[in-house]
Amino acid sequence: MHAPSIWGILVVAVVVILLFGRGKISGMMGEVASGIKAFQKGMKDDDKPSEIPVARADIDAREVEKSKDA
């Protein structure tokens, strides 16, 4: 199997542009770029240690135990 020639690449490029149009291709690239940026932002947020919220029931149980001890 051989690599496609420059003419083959040009024909495929022309067909893609005719099918999708310039506007749709640039719009898709913009969406891909915003998706990549959102993914990178999400990865940065995962690096930060997150605090685990304490359930209200745990706090109430501790207060009841303290009142019994007193």
Q: What pLDDT does residue 52 have? A: 59
Q: How far apart are CA 47 and CA 42, in angstroms?
A: 9
| Structure tokens that stand for 64 in this block | 């009841």
Reported as a pLDDT band with limits 50, 70 and 90, residue 3 is: confident
Token look-up 């940026």 returns 37
pLDDT in tens, 12-66: 999 888 888 777 877 888 899 999 999 998 888 766 555 655 555 556 666 656 6
| Structure tokens that stand for 48 in this block | 């930060």
Q: 16-25 burial by CB neighbour count: b if 16+ within 10 A, else e?
A: eeeeeeeeee
Whether the CA torsion 6, 10, 11, 13 is positive or negative: it is positive
pTM of the model: 0.40
